[in-house]
Amino acid sequence: MSAPPAVELDSLGYAYPDGHRALDGVTLTVAPGERVAILGPNGSGKTTLVLHLNGVLVPTTGTVRVDGLAVAGDDLPEVRRRVGVVFQDPDDQLFMPTVGQDVAFGPANLGATGADLDRVVADALALVGMAGAADRPPHHLSLGQRRRVALATVLSMDPSVLVFDEPSANLDPFARRELVEIVTALARTTIVVTHDLLYAAELCPRSVILDDGRIVADGPTLELLADAPRLARHRLELPRLARLATEQPGTIARG
């Protein structure tokens, strides 16, 4: 029997209490191990969509399932363990005196103790290239390091689905590349919400464009980003140097 989709949205609709309909009939399937970017202008419904993946928001219409489990009712605690969300600002996620205490917080609350807890912390930090940092205060770290520690706090819970909110925001080029290499090496189902189209191309083979609460495009990331008229229709734009390289190959190199 084949595994169920990692994420399955069926006719998902959501209206805020003021009546604003933020999502309208969103149907999306993400296979286990897939990396998918969700692109769209401000107000398109991206954040509203991902808040449904761990039950922070409850659909007005339609259904949401993770690994075949309904994001509702008795399944909700297990879904929340399986869906790990890495916030844009790592300081929203790091609140303990040391890195190790931050990474240990989740598994400790699930009952892990002693050597088992130490092993979970060490393994999570090793996965993000922060081995040996357990005793350091988070506020002594660079932004890129804090973002990796925030990811480690999620990995310590052994989620099957990772969700990133603007993972490249304010990172320098080297830190951006480090994070891409870490995430791709994890080989887990990954959903990336981002305005950074080039980062989406680096990290996610597939992208979805969301606009006005609806999916308006779904396909290979490079194909979507090569369609400048479609990007413009949905208020998305590649950086100028990337456009020049696409429109006039060799221009930048010759310059």
Domains identified in the chain and CATH numbers: 7-254 (3.40.50.300)
Q: What is the pTM of this model?
A: 0.90
Mean pLDDT across 77-98? 94
| pLDDT of 105 over the 70 cut | yes
- The per-residue pLDDT of the chain, averaged, comes to 92
Query: SS3 of 51, please?
Result: coil
| pLDDT of 18 over the 70 cut | yes
- pLDDT at residue 247, rounded to an integer: 55
Length of the chain: 255
- Tell me the pLDDT tens digit for each residue of 116-128: 999 999 999 999 9
Query: SS3 of 122, please?
Result: helix
| pLDDT of 254 over the 50 cut | no
